Amino acid sequence: MKLLMECHEGRVVSLFLENGFLERCVEKGAEVKVISQATTVPGFVERYGIEGVSWAALPVHRDLTRFEALAMRIGRKFSTSGMAGARRLLWSAFERPSLARKAGAEQRLIREFKPDVVFSPNIAEGFGRRLIGAAGAMGIPSVGNLASWDNTYRPLRVRPDEITCWSDRAERELCAWCAYRADQVKVTGAPAFDPYFRDGATWNREKLCKEMALDPARPIILYASLGQFRPFMDETGTFAALVEALDQGLVPGNPQIVLRLHPLSRLVYFDPFLNRADVTVSRFKGYIPGMMWTPMRDEVILAGNLMRHADVCISPGSTMTIEPAIFDTPTLLPVVNLYTQEAYTEFFRQIWLEGHFREIVEKSWVPVVRTVEELGGAITKALGEPSWYGEGRAAIRETILGPLDGQATERIAAIVVRPRERNA
């Protein structure tokens, strides 16, 4: 069988190419062609190229036209109003034909390669819109992957025939909010977590501390920044609250902080804290030109061990609010900002509480702290009683994270390359 897939961003490289997705597909008898703008980057094809895999470069089209944006919003309204049939008709009768008309390069590649299936590894970003549209118009089945736990909280930019996702929760949301049928959605777990379970990926505390120049005898506080998603939103004031709690002596044990920067965080904004002896910076360094940040496997393994051996994790809303539950590490959700409290509270309410964090907060799966004093007290509580909020972390594992066995990439590969009939 022949598989045609697109790979236009660093996260897809991390989730799939770094996790051996191409090797798994080839082992299952597939001939694979990868569409990627990174084919011109020195070393890229050499790193991921194997026998049975070929490469193609096509222009990248991510931005939506006015018609596409309007159709996406109308489709979302249909889906959430119980009009699943209308949503599917909007795609098949209007959106897909419109995309196919623009997809001349994709159609030529499809006619040349003659794939049995096409695959878009991150449908929330929409890089595969024209590919999926062209394939559908030509009767080629398509599979897409929902790359994160929060992607259902915004309209999907593309509608493949089948979708793989993290968990049963995501499956229910895809059916309720995106007008998919249950038989079109496959729960696989998250490829992002697979490296945590690979042979040799589990370090002891001493190895982590040697790698990070930390003191294994002192408590480790892992602070994962949110990311500079809005130009004028300050994210340093929350970290400043943590530093203030330590400076006021609210946390015992002379703890050390690992400042784990989101790839979209600005390191320069945190400059006032970087000369402190109790602060160590950690961040992803992998980057592919034109594809943004690209966490490599060793970097992901390091991040996993930081969460495994941290005594407390603190994150104001990144995925690292839920990931530490994999390792049953106590985690705090701060809604405090020493500089822009009112704007920060409103941001948290609008973006997090009205979206993917609503269930976490309403069901009290992690403690939410709103002042420096509360933050210091919660850290002290977690240090002295690591089982605190353990039931909440178990609920996160069961409800949000999906299967945690290191086999998500394998399951997705098996789904993508299984035999299919061509669409009518």
pLDDT tens, position by position, 113-164: 999 999 999 999 889 999 999 999 999 999 999 999 999 988 888 899 999 9
Contact 372, 241 (CB under 8 A): yes
Query: Using 50, 70 and 90 to split pLDDT, how confident is the model at 347?
Result: confident
The CATH number given to whatever domain includes residue 164 is: 3.40.50.2000
Torsion sign, CA atoms 268, 253, 371, 345: positive
77 in a structural domain: yes
Same domain, yes or no, for 95 and 180?
yes
Q: Across residues 347-358, what is the average pLDDT? A: 85
Whether 111 and 225 share a structural domain: no
- Provide the H-helix boundaries in 3-161: 10-12, 21-27, 44-48, 66-80, 84-90, 96-102, 104-113, 129-137
CA distance 362 to 416: 36
Verify that 239 and 359 share a domain, yes or no: yes
- Helix H segments across 310-389? 341-347, 358-362, 372-384
pTM here is 0.95
**Residue 423 pLDDT > 80:** no
In a domain, 424, yes or no: no
d(CA 230, CA 316): 15
Number of domains into which the chain is organized: 2
The mean pLDDT value for 368-385 works out to: 97
Q: CB within 8 A of 125, min separation 6: which ones? A: 9, 62, 147, 157
Residue 423, in any domain of the structure: no
Examine the domain organization and report whether 31 and 124 are in the same domain. Answer: yes
Q: Within its chain, how far is the Cα of 168 from the centroid?
A: 17
206 and 66 belong to one structural domain? no
Helix, coil or strand: residue 5: strand
Q: pLDDT tens digit string along 76-101?
A: 999 999 999 999 999 999 999 999 99
Q: Show the domain range for 217.
A: 197-401
The answer to whether residues 83 and 129 belong to one domain is yes
Q: Are 360 and 322 in contact (CB under 8 A)?
A: yes
Does 147 fall in a domain?
yes
The answer to whether 248 touches 337, Cβ cutoff 8 Å, is: no
